[in-house]
Amino acid sequence: MQNIYNLTLKDLENYFVEQGDKKFRGTQVFEWLYRKKVKSFKEMTNLKKELLEKFEQNFEMKTIQITKVERDIDVEKYLFELKDHEKVEAVLMNHDYGNSVCISTQVGCNMGCKFCESGRLKKIRNLETHEMIEQILTIEEECGKRISHVVVMGIGEPFDNYDNLVRFIEIINNDHGIALGSRHITVSTCGVVPKIIEFSNLPYQVNLAISLHAPNNELRNQIMPINKAYPLEILIDTLKKYIEKTNRRVTFEYILLKDVNDQKQQAKELAELVRGMNCYINLIPYNETNNIAFKRSKQETILEFYDILKKNRINVTIRREFGSKISAACGQLRSKKEDEDEIILHDRHRES
């Protein structure tokens, strides 16, 4: 059965035309779903009864369920169970400019970044468009707040699920739906060059962020296997063309790992790497996990790294930290839940 949240406005318009009905019915249904946020087709009171009955036979609505929530100051982390019992995460962050949700795009990830908790589980499958949409709608319903910004930076590599990602953007950006402005949507990639090129051809003014985390090929090869396929010189050249074509600024994310990529010389290399580009660097203090050996850089090291970039006239910020008292790292809440389930199964087996 098809999920109704997989359909774009154009899909819904075509559906009604094919049914011998009026095209504008698609807009009506779209607005019921995303503006009025109905929980059943029966609530769509301006549609005919027989039409609603056909909808119920051919489409389903929300399928994901919240199984766990962890809360800290200005942040809530949600663990979702999908229809097939797989699990993904999303994070709600309360900023002074609005409420931002970071969503997942895959169950697991094949990119293999050494410092990433979510990458410890290889990709099981892509999320469908509706499963990305439902993360937003479910959190809005749970917290009672309107989501004003979406960051596609959770579990998975978004450009490894490109078609569903593009449909997701089309739906949440539509004025008849969630109506999120393009500049309120950010997509993060570890550097899938062919998809960056394809992404530059989209009509949306969506923000692009690059998970960089190293200023040279030798180090990036060690901690980010994607660099072996698309080394820095190719990635940077592609991004320069992306910026020229779209006239949009690119964000470089740089997680600071103690004694790995946080040295003064590496800050100077990073400044040289991005010099002259319309970009800024987002320095990210590392969230340590029990399963990965990397450690967070010392605060004075982070500030020294920042100062070197500033002195080299590079636009740079240090990301505000969220969730220091919860499972803050991407994939950590899901991983913790899996560990708990494994312990329970082990105990049951021992008792039997």
CB atoms within 10 A of CB 119: 24
Beta-bridged to residue 207, according to DSSP, are 186
For CATH 3.20.20.70, the residue range(s) in the chain are 65-343
**Phi and psi torsions of 82, nearest 5°:** -90, 175
pTM: 0.90
The pLDDT-based confidence of 55 (bands split at 50, 70, 90) is confident
pLDDT at residue 330, rounded to an integer: 52
Mean pLDDT of 242-269: 97
Q: What is the mean pLDDT of the chain?
A: 91
pLDDT at residue 333, rounded to an integer: 53
Beta-bridged to residue 95, according to DSSP, are 98
Q: What percent of the chain has pLDDT over 90?
A: 79
Per the annotation, the verdict on 102 as an active-site residue is no
pLDDT at residue 34, rounded to an integer: 97
Q: What is the pLDDT of residues 317-342, one digit of tens each?
A: 998 776 555 554 454 455 454 444 43
Helix intervals (H) in the chain: 9-18, 24-34, 49-58, 129-143, 162-173, 193-199, 217-223, 226-229, 232-246, 264-274, 299-311, 332-351
Residue of 102, 113, 279, 330 marked active site: 330
Taking the mean position of all CA atoms in its chain, how far away is CA 70? 18
pLDDT at residue 121, rounded to an integer: 81
pLDDT at residue 329, rounded to an integer: 47
160-164, 287-291, 299-303, 343-347: which range is least confident on average? 343-347
45-59, 167-181, 223-237, 238-252: which range is least confident on average? 45-59
Q: What is the pLDDT of residues 268-307, one digit of tens each?
A: 999 999 999 999 999 999 998 887 889 999 999 999 999 9
The rounded distance, in Å, linking the Cα atoms of 330 and 155 is 6
Mean pLDDT of 243-268: 97
Residue of 89, 117, 134, 157 marked active site: 89
Tracing tokens 């504008």 back to the chain, one arrives at: 24
For CATH 1.10.150.530, the residue range(s) in the chain are 2-60
Long-range contacts of 35-39 (CB under 8 A, 24+ apart): 35/176, 35/177, 37/137, 37/140, 37/141
Token readout for 268 is 């100077």
92-96, 121-125, 318-322: which range is least confident on average? 318-322
Per the annotation, the verdict on 131 as an active-site residue is no
The pLDDT-based confidence of 73 (bands split at 50, 70, 90) is confident
Q: Looking at the structure, give the CATH architecture of the domain made up of residues 2-60.
A: Orthogonal Bundle (1.10)
The rounded distance, in Å, linking the Cα atoms of 100 and 126 is 23
The rounded distance, in Å, linking the Cα atoms of 136 and 33 is 13
Terminus-to-terminus CA distance in the chain, angstroms? 40
Contact 157, 110 (CB under 8 A): yes
Q: Which residue has the higher pLDDT, 334 or 71?
A: 71
- Which CATH number describes the domain made up of 65-343? 3.20.20.70
The rounded distance, in Å, linking the Cα atoms of 305 and 301 is 6
pLDDT at residue 350, rounded to an integer: 40
